[in-house]
Amino acid sequence: MTEVNKSATDVDLAAADWVQRRHLWTWTDTDQAEFDAWLAESDANRVAYLRQNAVWSAAGRLNALRQQQPMRQTKLAAKSRNWRLFRYVATAVIVAVIGESSFGYFRSPADSTYVTQVGGRKIITLADGTRIELNTDSALRIRGGAVRQVTLLRGEAYFDVQHNGADPFAVTASGYRITDLGTKFLVRASTDLVRISVLEGSAAVTPVSGQKAKRSALLLPGDIAVANAGGLTVKKEPVASVATALGWRRGLLTFKDMQLADAVAEFNRYNTHKLRIADAEVGRLKINGTFQAENADVFATSVQELFGLKISRNGGDTTLSH
């Protein structure tokens, strides 16, 4: 048996012990406190307990024995007989599942995936108090049984992490892993690139593959890291400037000396009707200001008036030209 399987077995047998204690022993406040602490250690413990409690309920012989035995710890012989029977049933269930899934079920329940549509946002609050805000057209997967390990499949998310040195929070995106060291940070991921901006605390960024050609970095407030298959670069900005990138949480986009082509690309992330640039010269114009992310028409009108551009519409899309 591998170490992983042994660990999974230990968790289930510990859960079976708690079920047996709750049903056959005199239950005290001390027992409850110890039980609550054990449940709080991990989702794997909670899932294992629910599963083994169901085994108990389904075993008619065990229920009969439970009714016959006085619930006192002093009756060790009776408790021992019942425990041996319950442990046998619990172990039998474990063995049956091993044959079907090689412990995959015990290690973790199904993954959870959260998705936002274009223009949508979603707030996810985890059991430990960590808060994740998904931006437009994004997808996030939380690994079953390990809620402090998530993957940003695409798009953008803001993480306000409850720090736990014994169980670090980690985000995987575009071939890199961002590990929380007490952090508020923003991650934006595409197929081959990830951008990490730290607002508070610190975060370690490391390549998932462990390739020596890729850099690792420790990011502090104001640091912005851009990483891809070719490596990782870090630049420092004022924290206030980094926070500007979080305007989408309030439905706002802020541009500072940004080329119009890039500003249009940002608007198109939030709207199904797209803005288009007729030529490269128009795209190089610089824009400043704060705009509502979901009101591309107001943005197009503002740009038209500011630069004397023409607007043409076709099928809901808007084109800006000289």
d(CA 233, CA 225): 6
d(CA 214, CA 230): 7
d(CA 318, CA 274): 6
Tokens at 146, concatenated = 């390990």
H-run or E-run covering 267:
helix 260-270
Q: 48-88, pLDDT tens digit by residue?
A: 777 666 655 544 433 444 444 444 444 444 444 454 444 44
For position 97, what pLDDT does the model report?
A: 37
d(CA 68, CA 213): 67
For position 9, what pLDDT does the model report?
A: 57
Amino acid at 145: G
Region at 308 (left for phi over 0; alpha for psi -120 to 50; beta for the rest): left
d(CA 120, CA 131): 17
Q: Are 314 and 282 in contact (CB under 8 A)?
A: no
pLDDT higher than threshold 70 for residue 146: no
- pTM to 2 decimal places: 0.64
d(CA 87, CA 109): 23
Q: 248-291, pLDDT tens digit by residue?
A: 999 999 999 999 999 999 999 999 999 999 999 999 999 999 99
